[in-house]
Amino acid sequence: MIRVGTEGDLEAIVRLEREITTAPHWGIGEYEGIVRGDGVRRCLYVADAGGVVGFAVGKVVVDEGEVESIAVRETSRGCGVGGRLLTEVLEWCREAGAGVVDLEVRAGSEGAGRLYRAAGFVEIGRRRGYYSGPVEDAVLMRVTFDRTPEGLDRGGGADFERIV
């Protein structure tokens, strides 16, 4: 199920974030601010019987959105979790008034790049050597909602229920 993160979910979300070396490692205070609902950012997560398997953080300021983070446990990749989270973040951004949504992704994250391109994102630039451990470029991508394909994969065969 996809849920909106609450303070009670933070420990599990941060634990997953720490497992994924390429995820942004924010402090617990950052997540607390997000889930307290400042109206600008939203944290969504997917859990199964074993706990949190993926989460996403989106932000909207005026009419521009940003996918700040999507992280999926390695054993759950390829099951549609990332696609479902991306779809929900994009829908939330659109509902909050965003006309465009930006993100950045490691150049070496081929699976993530495919997912974003399938959702209508296009490359708009690069930040050379932006990431460390390992050093990689950040690929800057943007989608406008008139380019977002309707019917974006909502789970790739995985059984998810939307409760946001």
CATH number for the domain that contains residue 14: 3.40.630.30
Pairing relation of β-strands 64-72 and 100-106? parallel
* pLDDT number for residue 116: 96
- In-domain check, residue 155: no
pTM: 0.83
- Find the DSSP H helices in the chain: 10-19, 28-35, 81-95, 110-118
User: Is residue 161 a part of any domain in this protein?
Assistant: no
Task: Tell me 152's DSSP state.
Answer: -
- Decide if 162 is inside a domain: no
Look at residue 149 and tell me if it is in a domain: no
The whole-number average pLDDT for the span 42-56 is 92
Q: What is the pLDDT of residue 28?
A: 82
- pLDDT above 90 covers a percentage of the chain that reads 56
Q: How many domains does the chain have?
A: 1
Q: pLDDT tens-digit profile of 99-155? A: 999 999 999 999 999 999 999 999 999 999 999 878 999 999 999 987 444 544 433
List the domain range (segments joined by +) for residue 129.
2-144
